[in-house]
């Protein structure tokens, strides 16, 4: 029993450290940097509406972030409070999105997003 509690405590600490580490290594990219998957610059991607696979609007892009100011790797999505994703800003890798027409579609479901790090700006 003690070993199980210790293991749970270690696992929780590692997950929390990973979340802090993930955000600590990301910065907002410059407005004029190209976000290649979307053929748009970061300034254009900011404030795009985000939709789930069913076509429901679930939030909008708060920031474009990356490993440095010239390398976008993720979007920060500000989820609407009434969505299944919760009312929070979440860092989501670029490969979790697709652009269909003029809609930015999030491929990840709410359960997957719940495991992703939050963004505090």
pTM recorded for the entire structure: 0.80
Number of H helices, E strands in the chain: 3, 9
CATH classification (class only), 2-114: mainly beta
3-state secondary structure of 14: helix
- How does residue 24 score in pLDDT terms, banded at 50, 70 and 90? low
Judged against a pLDDT cut of 90, whether residue 2 lies above it is answered with no
CA pair distance 13, 26, nearest whole angstrom: 20
Cα dihedral angle (95, 98, 104, 110), rounded to 10 degrees? -60
């Amino acid at each position: 029993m003690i070993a199980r509690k210790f293991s749970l405590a270690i696992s929780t600490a590692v997950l929390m450290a990973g979340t802090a580490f993930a955000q600590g290594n990301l910065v907002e990219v410059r407005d004029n940097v190209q976000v290649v998957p979307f053929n748009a610059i970061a300034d254009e991607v900011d404030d795009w509406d985000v939709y789930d696979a069913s076509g429901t609007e679930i939030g909008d892009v708060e920031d474009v972030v990356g490993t440095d100011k010239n390398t976008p790797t993720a979007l920060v999505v500000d989820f609407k409070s009434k969505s299944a994703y919760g009312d929070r800003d979440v860092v989501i890798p670029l490969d979790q999105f697709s652009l269909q027409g003029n809609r930015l579609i999030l491929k990840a479901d709410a359960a997957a997003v719940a495991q992703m790090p939050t963004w505090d700006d």
